[in-house]
Amino acid sequence: MIIILMGVSGSGKTTIGERLAQALGWPFYDADQFHPPANVAKMRQGIPLTDEDRWPWLQALRAHIETCIHQGVSAVLACSALKQAYREHLIIDETKVKLVYLKGDYDLIRERLAQRRGHFMPPELLASQFAALEEPERGVVVDIVHPPETIVALIREQLGV
């Protein structure tokens, strides 16, 4: 099984992903690591990515998911996956790829981003993330007001892992 943790920047994808992967004994992958250098440079400059910018990144993520499935490796992937088209591209088999939406309100996430250090995504881009967000109609939804250990437990319970 591949679990994709989705949500806007600052929703806790990496924190929850690392803890969930550790609890399950699975590898954890952060989709940010798959961005081409040009995308990272744009984000560092506070320039929102376009769909055109994102497609090579999404292709690399899909190839990684396909490799994991082909090799029979379960994994946790933290990925914004803000638009339905992106999720359709990544969820290549709904029986093997599960979506978890880490949902939070703008003010809470803005506060978290203001406290975050060392990340290339500046808090100023949060509005563009919410503008691009198309909330999923399927998958597990977890409110991020809970502490990380509660969120991990909720995900495990809802996915049966």
pLDDT digits (tens, 9 = 90+) for 5-16: 999 988 999 999
Which class is domain 2-159? alpha beta
The model's pTM: 0.91
Domain residue spans in the chain? 2-159
pLDDT digits (tens, 9 = 90+) for 65-116: 999 999 999 999 999 999 999 999 999 999 999 999 999 999 999 888 877 6
User: To 10 degrees, the CA torsion angle through 83, 62, 13, 145?
Assistant: 40
Q: The tokens of 85 are what?
A: 């088209």
Between CA 157 and CA 30 the distance in angstroms is: 23
Mean of per-residue pLDDT scores for the chain: 92
Between CA 53 and CA 34 the distance in angstroms is: 12
Q: Which of 7-21, 35-49, 134-148 has the lowest mean pLDDT?
A: 35-49
155, 7 Cβ separation under 8 angstroms: no
